[in-house]
Amino acid sequence: MRLRDQHGHSTELSDSMLAAWDEEPGISTHQKKEQLLQWMGDSLEELGKEQKLCVTLFYLDKRSYQEIASTTGFTLMQVKSHIQNGKRNLKLLIQKRAGGENAKS
């Protein structure tokens, strides 16, 4: 799954998240990516409704800030804030899940 950063470039979120698993034997890259996608979906559900909505519209539906503001009724600054905070919280939630999973191993 490709996500756009604030400058419109595509980045692989999974690259940074998968780095913790590089040394684990027996886990294929495909399994790692599937696990990451599961964690991303679960973590997205834990975000607040405004952050979840803005992150989903921006990254998954590839809407612009202006389109999101028009659709949701948020100001442009609120949209930017919800996306920035949602992205940070999503990353923290995924890292928390990855840390908990590594502790189980």
The pTM (predicted TM-score) of the whole model is 0.69
pLDDT at position 24 is 55
User: What is the per-residue pLDDT across 47-104, written as a single tens digit (0 to 9) for each?
Assistant: 999 999 999 999 999 999 999 999 999 999 999 999 999 999 999 999 998 887 655 5
Q: How far apart are CA 2 and CA 25, in angstroms?
A: 26
Between residues 22 and 77, which one has the greater pLDDT? Answer: 77
Structure tokens belonging to residue 64: 């612009």
Q: How far apart are CA 59 and CA 28, in angstroms?
A: 26
Q: Which helix (H) or strand (E) holds 3?
A: strand 2-4
The DSSP letter of residue 61 is S
